[in-house]
Chain A
C-alpha cells in the first residue's frame, strides 16, 4: 500500500492488473445499488431458460400428442410412416425408436460402468503418483472429442471390423426382415460407451476421493487389505455418487444423436432376441435423438412430421429432466453422507 503525493491510497493486490485507488469512491454508488438487480436478473434468466425450452418444444409437439395420445409411444412403424407423411398421412408411433434409445443406452452404460469403475479406482487409489495426472488428462481428452469424430472413427473402424469379423456368412438365413451389416446396435454401444465413459469416470473418481481418510484408515487398522477397503468401504460409501455418475452418463447416452446416426444403421427396428443374442446385437437400430437429426432437415416443412419430431424432442426433454433430478437427488444423498451441508451438486 502506498500513498501518492495527491493523497490517493494505492493498493497493489495479487492477481489484479493494476493498483486501485481506494479514495476514489468509497461510499455506496449507483452501480452498487443497481448491479445486484442486473446480476440477479442474469441468474434468474439463466435458471428459467429451461422453462422456455420446455414450453417451445412441447408446444410444437402438441398436435401429435393430441391426435395420437399414448399410441405415439406404444405403436411402431416410424420408417414407413415417415415415407407416408410426405403424402399427407399423419400417424406416428415411435416404439422402435424408444427401444433403440433404451437398448443402446443400457448397453453403453454397461460398457462404460465396467471400464469406468476400473479407471475411477485406478485414478483415485491405485495409480502411481507420476501416472495419475497424465491418465486424467487422457480421460479429459476423451471427453473433449466431438461426437462427430467418434461417429467417424466408429464408421471407419468399428463398423468394418464388426462386418468382417462378427457377422456370420449365412446371416440372411436367420434374419430375413432386414439386411445385417456392420452398422448395428453393437457398434452404437461401443461408440457411445466410450463417449460417455469420461463423464462417469470424472464423477466416480471425485466421489471416491471425497470419502474421508478416516474411513480408509479404520479399515486398514482392522487388518483389511488395501483392496478390501476399496471394495467393502469406499465403493459402498461412494455408492450414491456412483449412481449420480451413472445417471449423468445415461443422460448423455440417450441424447447422443450424431455418432449413433452414423454407426447404428438408421433403421427403426427392435433387435429381436429370438434370433439369438449375437444377432440381436448385430441388428440395426434407430434412436429418438438420431431420428431427429436424420429426418430433421426438409421434413420440418411438413407440419405433421415436424410435430412428430418435436414429439421425440419432448420425450428426450422429459427423460433428461427426470435423469437430472435423479442425479441431483443422489448427489444430495452423497453430500449428506459425507457431511457436506451445501445444496450445490458436486
Chain B
C-alpha cells in the first residue's frame, strides 16, 4: 500500500534527494569537463609543427618519441575506409528494416536480435574475430603472408582493420539511419505514392533525400566510433607505429600501404602511454589531445545535423 503522506509534504527526504541528484550531476559534469580540460592543457604542450609532421620513432628518451604524422594518416584511412564499407550495407539494411520489413515476420526478429547482439559485442572480440578470419590463407591478398613459409596470412593490415571496424560500427549506423528513415513524415510517402510513383522511386527520390541529415548523423556517429576504437586497431593493424611502406603517400605505394600494418592515433597513444612499451607520456597526451578534438568536432557536427533534422521535420 502506497502511503501518500510519508515524509511529509515538504519532507526532509525530498530535499535530500533533490540535493543528491544535483550533486551527482555536478560531479559527472565536472569530471567530463575536467577530463577534456586536462587533456587540452596537457596535450596542448605537446602539439607543435614537428610533432604533427614527423613520424613515430622508437626511443627511450622522453622527447624523442617522434610525431604523429603516420598515426594521423592511419586514423584518416581507417575511419574513411570503414565507413565507406559499412555505409552501403547499413543504408540498405536500414531501408529494408524501416520500409519493407513486417515486424511480425520471424526473420525480422532474428535480424533485430542479431543486430542488438552485434552492438553489444566488445571490440576486443571483434579484433579476435578479425584475426581468426583474415589469417586464413585465402585472405593473403588483404594482408600478405604470415611467418616465413607459412600457409596463413599475416592478418594485420589497414584493409583487415577497416573490414573488421566496418562490422563493428555497422549495427550503430543501421540503428541511427533506420531511425532517420522512420522519422520522415508519412505524408511525404503518401504524397509520392498518390502521384503514382513506385515504392522504390518513393524511397530513393523522396524518403532518402528527406532523411539525409539523419543519415549524415549516422555517418558521423560511425566515424566517431571508428576513430576512437583502440582494441580492434591494436589487434588487427599490428603494433608497429610506422607504415609498412616508406613513401606511403606516393600513389604507386597506396595498395602496399593498405595491405601493410600501421598505427592510428589511438594505438599511438596506447603504445606511448606509461603503460605501453613506448613510455613517452608527452606523445601520448599529444595524440589524446587530437583524439579529443576529433570527438568534439564529431559531436558538434552531430548536434548541428540533429538540429537541422528537427527543423526539417516541422
A13 touches B114 (CB 8 A): no
Given contacts A16-B205, A29-B198, contact A144 B228 (CB under 8 A): yes
Residues of chain A in range 284-328 having any CB-CB distance to chain B below 8 Å: 289, 292-293, 296-297, 300-301, 309-310, 313, 316-317, 320-321, 323-325, 327-328
Contacts of A52 in B (CB 8 A): 129, 133
Number of interface residues of A (CB under 8 A): 116
Among the 9-residue stretches A78-86, A168-176, A225-233, A271-279, the one with 4 or more Cβ atoms under 8 Å from chain B is A225-233
Given contacts A222-B4, A228-B14, contact A47 B115 (CB under 8 A): yes
Tell me the bound Cα distance from A127 to B9 in angstroms.
Answer: 21
B288 touches A144 (CB 8 A): no
B92 touches A39 (CB 8 A): yes
Task: Say yes or no for A161: interface residue by CB 8 A criterion.
Answer: no
B14 touches A46 (CB 8 A): no
B129 touches A53 (CB 8 A): yes
B269 touches A148 (CB 8 A): yes
**Residue among B125, B133, B266 making CB contact with A146, cutoff 8 Å:** B266
Tell me the bound Cα distance from A149 to B128 in angstroms.
Answer: 22
Task: Say yes or no for A42: interface residue by CB 8 A criterion.
Answer: yes
Please give the distance in Å from B303's CB to the nearest CB on chain A: 7
Task: Say yes or no for A25: interface residue by CB 8 A criterion.
Answer: yes
Contacts of B124 in A (CB 8 A): 255, 257, 289, 292-293, 296, 313, 316
Tell me the bound Cα distance from A186 to B55 in angstroms.
Answer: 36
Please give the distance in Å from A94's CB to the nearest CB on chain B: 14
Contacts of A194 in B (CB 8 A): 28, 31
B274 touches A47 (CB 8 A): no
Given contacts A20-B205, A56-B129, contact A146 B210 (CB under 8 A): no
Task: Say yes or no for B165: interface residue by CB 8 A criterion.
Answer: no
Tell me the bound Cα distance from A27 to B196 in angstroms.
Answer: 8
B275 touches A301 (CB 8 A): no
Tell me the bound Cα distance from A150 to B31 in angstroms.
Answer: 11
Tell me the bound Cα distance from A261 to B191 in angstroms.
Answer: 56
B197 touches A148 (CB 8 A): no
B196 touches A227 (CB 8 A): no
B273 touches A152 (CB 8 A): yes
Contacts of A252 in B (CB 8 A): 122
Contacts of A97 in B (CB 8 A): none
Task: Say yes or no for A102: interface residue by CB 8 A criterion.
Answer: no
Contacts of B33 in A (CB 8 A): 138
Q: Which B residues contact A (CB, under 8 angstroms)?
A: 2, 4-7, 9-11, 13-14, 17-18, 20-25, 27-29, 31-33, 35-36, 38-39, 42, 88-90, 92-93, 95-97, 100-101, 103, 107-129, 131-133, 147, 167, 170-171, 174, 188, 191-192, 195-201, 205-206, 209-210, 212, 224, 227-231, 234-235, 239, 266-267, 269-270, 273-275, 281, 284-285, 288, 291-292, 295-296, 298-299, 303, 312
Task: List the 4 closest pairs (A to B, CB-CB), nearest first.
Answer: A255-B122, A118-B24, A47-B111, A42-B92
Given contacts A25-B201, A258-B230, 13 further A-B contacts (CB under 8 A): A22-B195, A49-B170, A60-B128, A117-B24, A127-B25, A146-B229, A147-B231, A228-B11, A231-B13, A232-B2, A289-B124, A292-B127, A296-B127
